[in-house]
Structure 1
Amino acid sequence: MHINYGIDAGARKRGEHAPVAWNSKVAVNGHCLMVGMSGAGKTYNLRKMIRQMQDSSEGKPLRFHVFDVHGDIEIEGASSVMFSEQTTYGMNPLRVNPDPHFGGIRKRVQGFITTINRVMRALGPKQEAALRNILYDIYTRHGFKQDDPSTWHIDESMARLVSDGSDGRLYIDVPMAEKDDAKALGARWDSLQRCWFIQTEDYQGGITRWAPKTLARTHPSISDALRMARHILQMSFLGTGQAAITNLEIANKAAAAYQRKLLEALRRGDKAFADEKLEADLDKAKQKAIDTFTEYANSIVTGRELGDLMKYDSTDVLKSVVDRLENLNAIGIFKAVPPPFDPASQVWRYNIKALSMEERKLFVLFRLEEIFADAVQRGEQDDVVEVVILDEAHIYADDDPDNIINNIAKEARKFGLAMICASQSPTHFTEDFISSVATKVILGIDEMYWRGSVTKMRVTEEALAWIKPQKTMLVQLKTRGETRNDWRWTLIG
């Protein structure tokens, strides 16, 4: 593949015609860092690079992932998807890579925790351990086993919920033997679907002991983890188990029903109100709750269930983990339903303009982890087959060597994955990152960044002063076998 940046200005003075061009076959890698202040032409050049790579791909498979933070990178033929808390689709950061060597539950859990620690306030050691146990438990509930890679594969074409709850109904998987408990907690039977359901807003507390009904196995989602964490918090707070929680809620509902009838009677002036059926239902529910609490208390003598709660440390620790999951879920973009990108389109444009800065960073870092894992699983390639384009790339960069941005820069070349980063200044990036990028383009930098750029980019202030936005640029191309790579003073054609 080829990208033509312009004409060498020095050669032009000598009466020669020397294009300044990138060639994927001879470049050290496909990565590029493009820096330029507002109005210098970053968006124009990103479009140009995509178009030229498409035109020179010779019909080979090629996919672009364009992360558009301003919503202004319009590309002809692109499949564009808007992400916000109002969309019914999103991205699932708990999706497991099924590769037995590069994927699995442990890697996904660790990657998830590392990313939220990087972007949000870091979890403490006890919180991290509690969250890790919650995630392991939710994977187990979805049929994943840490030591059995055959359970890591999900048929994406079949893996879906009977309903995602957006229509007001959430279908739940209730065994026949437990239908009376589910019904007492508000579940209703749908004869058409032949399945129990609950109103979406009522799916909390004891009813969550029954998971959402799926047509086939699915990856767990943030909302699944949140529901489990809430349920474990209830058990920890009350010092009891799942059955006791359920029966306590049934007793509360029975008491509430009796109180409603009593208040209605008092408003009518009936001070001698009595409803034998409601009283009997309430007494029965209370006794059932007492029995299950007693059964649980007796079981603690043997230590049968105490260990399950102890691995989550304490109620305070659990509460802080639930709060963190609440915040992630409230963002509204981490959902099990995948975004509706057109698989026939080479360019997938992620419009993340509606997200906050923190939300953008979480979204992009999680998605980059998926893209890189898929590239590693794909194996070594003899040319670029996938390109990530990051507008305002400094949002995601830091000096942590384990940051996925840095990993892609250092390791993705052999897997055919290239990354193009656009930003206003190179000072936001580490020297290690800059040295890993084969192509550097300077479109014009604000003078306040010149001193830092001279050090980071090994460029002179004279060269920076020569640049005229949208007319001239500086380009450095690292090619295989070359030990010296000078800046090319380039006329934009």
Structure 2
Amino acid sequence: MRLQHKFGIDQYAAKQQGKTTEVIYDSDAMINPHVLLAGSTGTGKSHQLRELLDRASMYIDGDSSIDIFDVHAELDIGQASVVKYSAQTGYGYNPLIINPDVHSGGVLNSINNFIRLVNTTTVQLGTKQQATLRYLMIDLYAERGITEDNVRSWRMAYEKQPSIQDLIDFTRTKVLTTQFGTDSIATNVQSITRLVKGIRRSKLHEAARQKLSVQGHAVNEDLSAEEAADQGSVEEMESQLDKLNEKTENMFQLFLKGLKTGDELDVFFKYNNKEVMMSLVERLTTINSAGIFNHNPPPFDSNVRCHEIMSLGDDFQKLFVYMRLEAIFREARDRGHTSEIRYIVVLDEAHKFFKDESDNIINIIAKEGRKFGIALWCASQSPTHFSEEFLINTACIVLLGIHSSYWDMAVKRLRIKLDNLKWTKPKKVVSIKMQLKGASDPQFRSVVLASYESEFLAEIAQGRAA
């Protein structure tokens, strides 16, 4: 779809030249359809975003969609289907679903995506945790019949694919297996070794005592209390040894009878670090506690979808937004190249989700989304919160009035004149830069918003009449 929206009129043209030059967002005319709306609280940021959304929703059909990620519950435009996410509502998406695409999908890609998703939170996984989590997920998928070398298995029914709760249960089972299976045998072997050494030491001591006694020498009975306590009598230690040997033999017999795949020893070596395993259980349980990573997709009844995530903590908001953006980008990419807008993604308080890393999904969409039909619209309090990569790849930047403490940085990063920032009047005059196809890098220009246009033109007319 082609989307057009009038922001207002050029202030300079109206005031100095007597011309009414409209400033229009035209998705076909710009190098890409991305938008950044930046303004402090009270400058009309949410209002302008709703104006854009109201206009865009008029163009939505069965082939296109809008996804609004609303952190303040104030972007629920009339045409939108709204779903609130929390542990109580229980709606969510499963991040472990395999992407069935032959080129970009598969088990290993899905595992790497999930690990990268987890690492977007405040506390990242350590090297051992990542390696163990990768083993766990490979084995969990394999248990469900999904393997990297069987492309057909990637298309397994949605409800049969594992969830985070399944991964938690699987990890706990592996902890129990290693702790009460081969690990118990190893513990017993260590105890047996200590007893054998104790018995040998006691027998050597007794032999030496008898030899010295036969030769008529004085026997040194000075045995430390610790050694005496550790050794006990030879008879007691031999009795303990017999019992422990019998118990260990029985356990080993059970272990041998339990061998079903021949991989049990490999499992032990992969999962023998109890601390790492338990730390993964705790981390996954924390993530799952948000109640939004499950097999219960929200009941949207419109292609204009508003995801209210206000009830989620910051880390969970990031996880949710990144997960959905990955899914949207993957779907758009699998559909192939297009010059039309198929997806509009709206991020409220977008600075919360940005990182400077080039593999951050938002930077990827900013750079590559246009050719797959994705328009990325972001709202924030200042343009200085965003990565250089995003700012370079955003065709339309609208400054609604940013705090003066950000002016120097904005001048440096956006190459905007300081006068433009000073002339901005919240909800009346804004600064807009639009990068059009085939044009050189444009300057920011002062734009009188459509809602203030009549009053502004009347003021000009009165001034000229006077």
TM-score, normalization: structure 1?
A: 0.74
Which deviations, in whole Å up to 9, do the C-alpha atoms of 1:394-443 show, x marking residues without a partner? 11101111110111101111100111010001111111210011110100
2:292 is the alignment partner of 1:333: yes
Q: CA distance change for structure 1 residues 77 and 304 in 2, over 3 Å: closer, same or farther? A: closer
Matches of 2:18 and 2:41, distance apart in 1: 33
The alignment partner of 1:152 has SS state of: helix
Which of 325, 329, 340 aligns to 1:368? It is 325
Matches of 2:257 and 2:273, distance apart in 1: 21
Which deviations, in whole Å up to 9, do the C-alpha atoms of 1:23-62 show, x marking residues without a partner? 11121111111100011111111111112223356x5732
The alignment partner of 2:365 has SS state of: helix
Structure 1 segment 301-340 matched on structure 2, within 5 A: 305-340=264-299
Q: CA distance change for structure 1 residues 313 and 459 in 2, over 3 Å: closer, same or farther? A: farther
Which of 363, 387, 412 aligns to 1:406? It is 363
Question: As a proportion of its length, which structure holds more helix?
Answer: 2
Percent of matched pairs sharing the same residue: 38
Structure 1 segment 363-442 matched on structure 2, within 5 A: 363-442=320-399
Q: CA distance change for structure 1 residues 40 and 304 in 2, over 3 Å: closer, same or farther? A: closer
Which of 33, 57, 73 aligns to 1:30? It is 33
Offset of residue 239 of structure 1: 3.2
Larger Rg: 2
Residue 129 of structure 1 contacts residue 312 of structure 1 at CA under 8 Å; is this kept in 2?
no
Q: Which residue of 1 aligns with 2:99?
A: 97
Matches of 1:138 and 1:374, distance apart in 2: 25
For 1:86, give the aligned amino acid: Q
Q: CA distance change for structure 1 residues 116 and 224 in 2, over 3 Å: closer, same or farther? A: same
Q: Structure 1: 5+ residue runs without aligned partners?
A: 160-217, 242-286
Matches of 1:72 and 1:54, distance apart in 2: 16
Q: Which residue of 1 aligns with 2:212?
A: none
Which of 235, 249, 253 aligns to 1:294? It is 253
Q: Which residue of 2 aligns with 1:357?
A: 314
2:180 is the alignment partner of 1:228: no
For 1:461, give the aligned amino acid: L
Q: Which residue of 2 aligns with 1:346?
A: 303
Which deviations, in whole Å up to 9, do the C-alpha atoms of 1:296-327 show, x marking residues without a partner? 16889x98521112123511211111111111
Offset of residue 374 of structure 1: 0.9
Offset of residue 333 of structure 1: 1.4
Matches of 1:293 and 1:46, distance apart in 2: 67
The alignment partner of 2:405 has SS state of: helix
Q: CA distance change for structure 1 residues 107 and 303 in 2, over 3 Å: closer, same or farther? A: closer
Q: Which residue of 2 aligns with 1:142?
A: 144
Residue 6 of structure 1 contacts residue 492 of structure 1 at CA under 8 Å; is this kept in 2?
yes
Offset of residue 123 of structure 1: 1.2
Q: CA distance change for structure 1 residues 60 and 17 in 2, over 3 Å: closer, same or farther? A: farther
Residue 7 of structure 1 contacts residue 18 of structure 1 at CA under 8 Å; is this kept in 2?
yes
Q: CA distance change for structure 1 residues 290 and 428 in 2, over 3 Å: closer, same or farther? A: farther
Offset of residue 488 of structure 1: 2.1
For 2:315, give the aligned amino acid: E
The alignment partner of 1:47 has SS state of: helix
Matches of 1:304 and 1:41, distance apart in 2: 62
The alignment partner of 1:49 has SS state of: helix
Matches of 1:316 and 1:488, distance apart in 2: 59
Matches of 1:304 and 1:78, distance apart in 2: 52
Which deviations, in whole Å up to 9, do the C-alpha atoms of 1:50-75 show, x marking residues without a partner? 12223356x57321000000111120
For 2:383, give the aligned amino acid: P
Residue 416 of structure 2 contacts residue 443 of structure 2 at CA under 8 Å; is this kept in 1?
no
Which deviations, in whole Å up to 9, do the C-alpha atoms of 1:434-465 show, x marking residues without a partner? 00111101001011111111112211221111
The alignment partner of 1:20 has SS state of: strand
- Cα RMSD over matched residues? 2.3
Which of 383, 401, 416 aligns to 1:459? It is 416
Q: Which residue of 1 aligns with 2:50?
A: 47
